[in-house]
Structure 1
């Protein structure tokens, strides 16, 4: 994949390149270039093939830049990161973060240009075209208070939605428990994984996948539509800038939560709650429960107002939610 990323880099000016010129630049044969183009097409990239002239890349791509990423982080967050890793290809950044060695009290960031086996909640899997979207994981090992662990997915959701709304001119909403929506279409998903048992030190891994320039291939189709930041954002931005802003906001929000507490998060969550006041259907096994979204409780559980006027609580690991 590293050579294919170099091919994308050469084509990122969106001009027509002959197969001969690309082969010379990359030190391979023209047949190899043609093969790589076909493989990239299978991963979701689009090319204009002009007979007798060559190839032009149609899909928007941007390479992640290590120096720009570090420069985009606040000094406080940069000092809390013991490792920042950008790989060419990774099956799953969450798996990489889980296997890493940690200094207690320090964060690590793992991101990749191409994630091939990204996974989401309830077994859903996503594959993104290379250099087009974001797939990253933050890992932290140490003591984490129980309220923070309970609310970790909600906290990350708030951080992402707030950053998109404030910095990228979109009205982002949070679909309980861990998806970000714009205009009722999914733009990002969150997967938090935990190893260890409180009150001992635990490993918390936060995985984020975001549609930046393209919509990833869904191997399990979601109920609602999907969108990308490029489709809904009213200004130009870089993929590296976006990553830096999201990492900064997520890490900072964990420390803000420690100072402000659960009520602080619930107040902000309610302002961005996609399901608040909407007719929803909660699917639990073979059972379907109808009602109205009524926010979340202090443990991060969904509150549903049923037809009898009673509040029913649901845990994020056991249900799926649809809305009208």
Structure 2
């Protein structure tokens, strides 16, 4: 893994949002002003909004709260909490260590160089403005018991965010969080295991916390961030602790009651319940009215032909 310690120390120095001269930064880090300039360019490529003013030095556009394991663990019990500021993918990090992880282990990052979403798509992961979190969970009931788990995780995240003041957060089938019809977060669950054995799950989420418009300019759908959904944006360490606690509790409940125990909670939070939608299934488009989910996690769509369940990894839901 590449050593980013100098760049991370530079971010920590700039995180106060004040101006720091290149000379002072260089002296503190034991490197030249030219080296500081090169590191600044890398940090900007990570999505950090750093600017320079002649005679004053470098500054972040706004103060930055960095993730801190001690602050998170002061609020929630979490065995195996790892913070790796710069990583390829938090999901992949846990997948590579499945046999060594305690139940509920979590990996957090400030920046993902190869974050991924559903169907292998890239997940945009600028440094320090969002939350990238993956959790390991073992289901002794096997792989079949994981059906519909992304819906349960969506409920957990939405309820956690509502508890922090984001009252309008909703879930979108099968693995997104929405606010005012715009994407707020995505969920990616990856699984390993063999038939008849326990399922090893890595549950990943990317939550837009305070991502700026220019950072999300390449996203091909309407999106929003938590700053717009909350009157007072919670600190990211509090946010991480709340999500970890809610996920632990919800996954334990899921092991007891299965997906059926979450249908009512899903329907209460469903962004498109009783609204006209269209399903994109390959080249085919099916239109109807969304009527919630069934006990298998299928979307129930009412059309002229009646009520029909739809389930599968290659279906995308869109509002009409």
Q: Give the structure 1 partner of residue 135 of structure 2.
A: 138
Q: Give the structure 1 partner of residue 319 of structure 2.
A: 323
> Structure 1: how far apart are the matches of 2:310 and 2:110?
36
Does 1:32 find its partner at 2:29? no
> Structure 2: how far apart are the matches of 1:6 and 1:168?
33
Q: 1:271 aligns with which of 268, 271, 290?
A: 268
Q: Structure 1 residues 199, 260: closer, same or farther in 2, change over 3 A?
A: same
Does the 8 A contact of 2:14 with 2:59 survive in 1? yes
> Structure 2: how far apart are the matches of 1:278 and 1:246?
29
Moved more, 277-286 or 127-136: 127-136
1:175-194 correspondence to structure 2 within 5 Å: 175-194=172-191
> Structure 1: how far apart are the matches of 2:243 and 2:302?
33
RMSD: 2.1
Q: 1:118 aligns with which of 111, 115, 127?
A: 115
Q: Give the structure 1 partner of residue 9 of structure 2.
A: 6
Shift of residue 218, structure 1, vs aligned partner: 5.5
Q: Give the structure 2 partner of residue 228 of structure 1.
A: 225
Does 1:129 find its partner at 2:118? no
SS in 2 for 1:15: coil
> Structure 2: how far apart are the matches of 1:294 and 1:215?
34
The one-character-per-residue Cα deviations of 1:199-252 (angstroms, maximum 9, x if unpaired) are 3112111001111121595697333x2111123211242111101100110111
SS in 2 for 1:7: helix
> Structure 2: how far apart are the matches of 1:215 and 1:282?
30
The one-character-per-residue Cα deviations of 1:284-318 (angstroms, maximum 9, x if unpaired) are 11111111111111111111111x14122222402
Runs of 4+ in structure 1 deviating by more than 4 angstroms, as ranges, are 145-148, 215-220
> Structure 1: how far apart are the matches of 2:163 and 2:104?
25
Q: Structure 1 residues 215, 200: closer, same or farther in 2, change over 3 A?
A: farther
Does 1:171 find its partner at 2:174? no
Task: State TM-score, norm by structure 2.
Answer: 0.92
Shift of residue 108, structure 1, vs aligned partner: 1.4
1:69-84 correspondence to structure 2 within 5 Å: 69-73=72-76, 78=77, 81-84=78-81
Does the 8 A contact of 1:125 with 1:218 survive in 2? no
Q: Structure 1: 5+ residue runs without aligned partners?
A: none
The number of residues matched between the two structures is 316
> Structure 2: how far apart are the matches of 1:183 and 1:196?
38
